[in-house]
Structure 1
Amino acid sequence: PIRSIEMAAFGAMQPESVMAAEQLEELLLRFAAGEAQQVAATEASLQSALAKPAFICDLLVALQRSSASQVRQLAAVLIRRRIGAFWRRFEAAVQENIKTVLLSQLQTEPERLVRASIAAVACVVARHTLPKGAWNELLAFIMQCSQATEPERREVSMVLVGSLLESIEVVECLQPHSQVLGQLLAKGLEDRASAAIPRAALKALSAWAQVLDEDEAVEVLAPLVQPILRLGMATAAAADDEVTALACNVLEELAESSAAALGSNAANVARFGLTCAENTPLELSTRSTGLSLVATVVTSRRKALHKAQLLPTIVEHVFELCCEETHDDDDDDDDDDELTMHHHAAQVLEVISEEVPSKQIIQVITELVKANHNSDNSFRRRSVFVMLGLMAHGCSEAFCKRLPVTMPIVYQGCEAPETRVREAACLTIGMFAQFLHPEILEYGPATLSCLFKVLDDAKERVRERACFALEALCEHLGEAILPVLEPLITRLVVLLHNGSRATQER
């Protein structure tokens, strides 16, 4: 099917056609259909034609005239792949006509996916033209679209900017226009006429944040942090995973590469990350992206969070996420490879302990242990030990001072009725043995006695954790291990004969 419209460009300046329009239409339809028997022959025909610069013009005709969206989409993709290699071989008049066709199609193309592919073609052409000071019409077109009354055209401006900002060469050319682009993207972030507009603006920001140096990011992107937060909060409340995750990723990119760009918004960015992580209607991957944002802000803007007195609150909220119940049945068939919110939150607790001075968070840790170690909820008790174990390195000095209170709680955990709690308690002993010596050695006999009992545990994974704890503890005991060496070896020999491969390796 061919639409009865005239060419917007080319005319007499079009190079001699490589393939008739009807033949190309049929070929692209067959290829798009993906029928196995025809794809090979179709690919061969296309590859032969794609070696000729004039075929780009044939594809542009198909892009304009075909009523089949899949044909227009495939034509745009093929043009993008080859036009860069052929650009210099086109006469100047043909180059101008190609640029005219692209801008015309961006205005008239009804399908979003095809518009995005045409924008990608425009970006390739821009790489060849903008560095030479040519195609100023493109920037004027972007500004014109950004002010249009139709949401589709405003989306086109965002998509075009996003495509351009993915190219380092083009970004350098756009540097004099950074302030204008920043204002354009800010407007796109606040545009609620279509969800596609702020989504495209965020994607453009994501590309831009990766190529700007720190000074440029502070100047250009800092004013966009609050619009990003407003958009992210709205999409998180609406359970829009794609845009919410995009907002988290853009803010994390800023926090990692240009932390100063967050300015006075560091605390609000961390709160936004927590809000996303705690929003259970969102997908786990999106929620974990929120947690990752929190960890990055803690790493890059710790002092700002401390000044806002937010660090203890962050620990509390992340601990609550660590307590989130999973669907495991507390037996050895639990899939340890499937990451849960508990795992993600535990990793963030470890990051916090490494990045934050213990004096700023030890009080809240102590309060959480006190409030939860006797909880009726086994997931909360497990999280107490996971928190203690993973934060032992970063908070070693503070933890050493609290061993007289903490160790009885850990021993109690090793005798808990739930597998998950006993396993976590053994993990804590192992981490304490690695990072709290020599103070932990004062508890050597009592700890060995506790671990000896756990070696008889009915659950394989608990015995494995006990072996890990024994290995870590015995490494530092020195001659103090001699009185218990014989019974220890006896028990280990039994495990070598009867334990799993993982336990035997321990």
Structure 2
Amino acid sequence: MFVDITEVERILTRLLEPDNEVIKQATDELTSALKNPHTYVTLCTVISSSKNDKLKEYAALVLRKKLYKRNAWMNLSQELREQIKQFLLKTIVDEPNIEVKKHILQLIAVLAKHELMRGNWNELFAFIESCIKSHDINKREFGSFVIKNLSDYIPQMFESHITTFVDYFIQTLNSAEDCTSLVVYNTISSMNNIVELSIQVPQVIQAYSQSVPRVLEVILALSTTNPENACDCFDLLGSMCEFSIQALIPHLKPIVQVSAQLAGNTNIDESLRCNGINLISTIIRSKKKVLVKLNLLNPVIELMFSILSEETDDDTWFLEEYGLNPMSAAGECMAAIADELSASTFMPILVSVL
């Protein structure tokens, strides 16, 4: 039975009203409307055809919440499920608004999780593959955007295809002419999203390890042009420290050197400087003996003293939230060094820099 799109839009509009009584009435109306399975298809139509982006986002949110449990999805007929899936794959391409696209992808991720439990959503992966293998750079960028947002929400959906996608990630990183491009950023973000799944596959971890020099190059390039994205890329190295520190060992020296270079640069974003310091602290707590062997502790301690000696116009820096400014991060790094090193190792280094 067809459900009128105008009526569904009216209900969604009332749900966005700043009036609790109106919202309660609209919620009851929506609950009643959703007893008709065809309302789910009508909500998809709202996503694709409404002139109001807020209604599109809300329609996607309603579908995601209502279909989050697998039983709710499986209670729809196979015909309706297929119709919804096809509808969403077409809409994600046609939708011009980035925020609406993100909401649609979150919905797709939920449905993909359900579908992969009973087999495979072959059309979804074929769709992604067609994007990332396209000769059209805009389509490839869109494909990287799709993977990033799906893996943001439900990374497990990539587990059965992890080798294929990691091969694509590495190829993308190595072949990109502009390492500050959105394709590269989306690729590194996606790698971070699925890194916990990767530790079970030796060849994948090896690929991650081999990508580290390129990731460092990207972070340095983004440090002056887009520090927020640089911070996000730093997260991959932090995740590798947490889940597979062994993959970083061949690259610890350049990692610490790049982190120190950024930490000591007073001309860049403070959050990025803190990321550099915090990564050094993490490595010290995990692999202090390697740092001693590589003769990296002396320059690190000198750098931390330099940061702690920086002049600041803000006399309340020490009251700021933990770790969000370079001075407090440097203090924590020094604490890590003192905790992890024996006095016989730490004191001579400390005396030499005083």
TM-score range, shorter chain: 0.7 to 0.9
The aligned counterpart of 2:96 is 110
Which one of the candidate residues 204, 217, 220 is aligned to 1:230?
217
Q: CA deviation at 1:297?
A: 1.5
The aligned counterpart of 2:60 is 76
Amino acid at match of 1:225: V
Change over 3 Å in CA distance of 1:200–1:74 after alignment to 2 = farther
Change over 3 Å in CA distance of 1:209–1:362 after alignment to 2 = same
Change over 3 Å in CA distance of 1:328–1:71 after alignment to 2 = closer
Change over 3 Å in CA distance of 1:338–1:312 after alignment to 2 = same
Which one of the candidate residues 259, 271, 278 is aligned to 1:273?
259
RMSD over aligned CA atoms reads 2.8
- Conserved 8 A contact 1:131-1:170: no
1:62 maps onto 2:46 in alignment: yes
Long gaps (5+) in structure 1 = 1-15, 370-506
Deviates more, 1:297-306 or 1:75-84: 297-306
- Residues 77-135 of structure 1: per-residue CA shift (max 9 Å, x gap): 22111123321112222222222112112221111111122111111111122233321
- Conserved 8 A contact 2:179-2:221: no
Distance in 1, Cα, partners of 2:135 & 2:14: 38
The aligned counterpart of 2:334 is 349
- Residues 420-457 of structure 1: per-residue CA shift (max 9 Å, x gap): xxxxxxxxxxxxxxxxxxxxxxxxxxxxxxxxxxxxxx
The aligned counterpart of 1:337 is 319
Which one of the candidate residues 128, 132, 135 is aligned to 1:146?
132
- Conserved 8 A contact 2:144-2:183: yes
- Conserved 8 A contact 1:228-1:247: yes
- Residues 285-322 of structure 1: per-residue CA shift (max 9 Å, x gap): 33222211111122223333333322211111121111
- Residues 242-268 of structure 1: per-residue CA shift (max 9 Å, x gap): 212112222111112210111411122
Q: How is 1:138-287 mapped onto 2 (pairs within 5 angstroms)? A: 138-165=124-151, 166-167=153-154, 169-172=156-159, 174=160, 177-189=161-173, 190=176, 192=178, 195-213=181-199, 216=202, 218-238=205-225, 240-287=226-273
- Conserved 8 A contact 2:180-2:222: no
TM-score, with normalisation over the residues of structure 2?
0.85
Q: Which has the larger radius of gyration?
A: 1
The aligned counterpart of 1:121 is 107
Distance in 2, Cα, partners of 1:326 & 1:319: 15
SS across alignment from 2:185:
helix
Q: CA deviation at 1:336?
A: 4.3
Change over 3 Å in CA distance of 1:215–1:309 after alignment to 2 = farther
SS across alignment from 1:84:
coil
TM-score, with normalisation over the residues of structure 1?
0.61
- Conserved 8 A contact 2:172-2:187: yes
- Conserved 8 A contact 2:179-2:218: no
Deviates more, 1:107-116 or 1:270-279: 270-279
- Conserved 8 A contact 1:30-1:39: yes
- Residues 450-496 of structure 1: per-residue CA shift (max 9 Å, x gap): xxxxxxxxxxxxxxxxxxxxxxxxxxxxxxxxxxxxxxxxxxxxxxx
- Conserved 8 A contact 1:276-1:287: yes
Long gaps (5+) in structure 2 = none
- Residues 221-243 of structure 1: per-residue CA shift (max 9 Å, x gap): 223322321211111122x2321
- Conserved 8 A contact 2:308-2:331: yes
Aligned residues: 344
Change over 3 Å in CA distance of 1:168–1:248 after alignment to 2 = closer
Q: CA deviation at 1:17?
A: 3.4
The aligned counterpart of 1:367 is 352
Distance in 2, Cα, partners of 1:210 & 1:23: 44
Distance in 1, Cα, partners of 2:251 & 2:27: 52
What percent identity do the matched residue pairs reach?
22
- Conserved 8 A contact 1:162-1:201: yes
- Conserved 8 A contact 1:316-1:364: no
SS across alignment from 2:194:
helix
The aligned counterpart of 1:130 is 116
Amino acid at match of 1:167: I
1:24 maps onto 2:8 in alignment: yes
